[in-house]
Structure 1
């Protein structure tokens, strides 16, 4: 029996500062932790946050650090052709070449998109089997999904990003592909169960019925998620955890990966 093509997980939104690349990295290592073969395509050729994280991981091992699981990875940059049509053709070719390089050899391809609207990002969204959209725990970030009534939390107007995701879903349907699973993840959650947290939670519960996404809790605001970046590690890579906070962080990451429903 021929091996199925890799399941494509796209981590994307059109807003910077939501912890998107940090979330992507923890999903990647979470899948590796489940003994899955993973490849990564970083479409943010300017920042290269995920690619740099993985390069740090390689350097950590090369300098004598404990061996940790590594995904294959590459950076795909936007075309610089002068004509829009030529740029789009080149972007399609570049992304397809990246997918073709990995799709038969791994279980998952994780694509990290830039925090703005690009043609490459739209291509990736149209190919997503699972789309993961991180949001900061605030009403400001809810605008990424749509204009929300302050009183009823009802959607008054869909955002450009939500409309783009719906167009991607239509494309998949027209191509005969299974429906995309859109997962919205709250990130940088505050430790306290504040009034704002409860209101954002209520708004997202209301939004998910209208916009048709799955809303799941994400990662709390923890130093451990940032301080391991120079070594390219995550809390799942640590041989020993020395605090209850680290134990909780490890469970958070594993719960997040489980909530994606991509591992049988």
Structure 2
């Protein structure tokens, strides 16, 4: 059975698709069979990222390890029983298609609450939640008091993850390994940054997630998308000397993959 990695939260702009593509490509480069799904059926940012990669590699006549991507298959509505949700069946069919041929299935969720996202979270062996370093994003996980010091209670996304955990427990599945990334960090040490660090550390113990390093805010990520490339591909396309920022970003990716502690994965890049 494939190990299912879900990348999700309910807010856009946290870097979910960037994290998804870099983790998936890192696994492919290390020789693992990795397949991907994009549940944002409108934007399909991850799907377009992989498509950009395939077109660029074809144009440049290059062969680089690339995660497999498929769209969710369509379901004949007439085959459904009364009350059955077609989205459940579409996701189930996609996972069934991939799980016998892939070691890992990575599912990129939309930045909103949808039925597909809810079901995907209940399938997650590893859940990665990128979070901008802001109390606006933190509010997705928990409500806090006015000074940002005291946690008042879990918020909507944490409650959804809790429900997914309960469903897995009822089905006799192993618990979700929930990893929250402090993503798109700024370089400066600011008061808000220190408060966020304390609040996330406190919340992690209360609702049960691990905190892992994400990516700092870097222009390179925006530049890579049109060609479908990742930080690990730069030397393969002729970049002989990586600048300090690129070297640091590769180390951030290395630290992230290592911290995920995925089964059978030894970081070799």
State TM-score, norm by structure 2. Answer: 0.90
Deviation, structure 1 residue 255: 1.0
2:150 is aligned with 1:154: yes
Residue 92 of structure 1, aligned match among 88, 92, 98? 88
Deviation, structure 1 residue 30: 1.7
The separation in 2 between residues aligned to 1:116 and 1:148, in whole angstroms, is: 21
For residues 117-145 of structure 1, the C-alpha deviation after alignment (integer angstroms, 9 at most, x for no partner) is 11111000000001111110111110000
- Shift in CA distance, 227/29, structure 1 to aligned 2, threshold 3 Å: same
Aligned alpha-carbon RMSD (Å): 1.9
- The residue that corresponds to 1:6 in the other structure is 2
Deviation, structure 1 residue 89: 2.2
- The residue that corresponds to 2:267 in the other structure is none
Residue 20 of structure 1, aligned match among 16, 35, 40? 16
Residue 104 of structure 2, aligned match among 105, 108, 117? 108
Residue 234 of structure 1, aligned match among 226, 230, 252? 230
2:217 is aligned with 1:217: no
Unmatched segments (≥5 aa) in structure 1: none
- The residue that corresponds to 2:52 in the other structure is 56
1:185-200 residue pairs with structure 2 within 5 A? 185-200=181-196
Deviation, structure 1 residue 66: 2.8
The separation in 1 between residues aligned to 2:159 and 2:226, in whole angstroms, is: 37
Count of residue correspondences: 257
2:31 is aligned with 1:35: yes
Q: Secondary structure at the match of 2:70?
A: strand
- Shift in CA distance, 103/40, structure 1 to aligned 2, threshold 3 Å: same
For residues 206-264 of structure 1, the C-alpha deviation after alignment (integer angstroms, 9 at most, x for no partner) is 11011111111200001111201111001111114421111111111111111111043
Unmatched segments (≥5 aa) in structure 2: 265-269
- The residue that corresponds to 1:170 in the other structure is 166
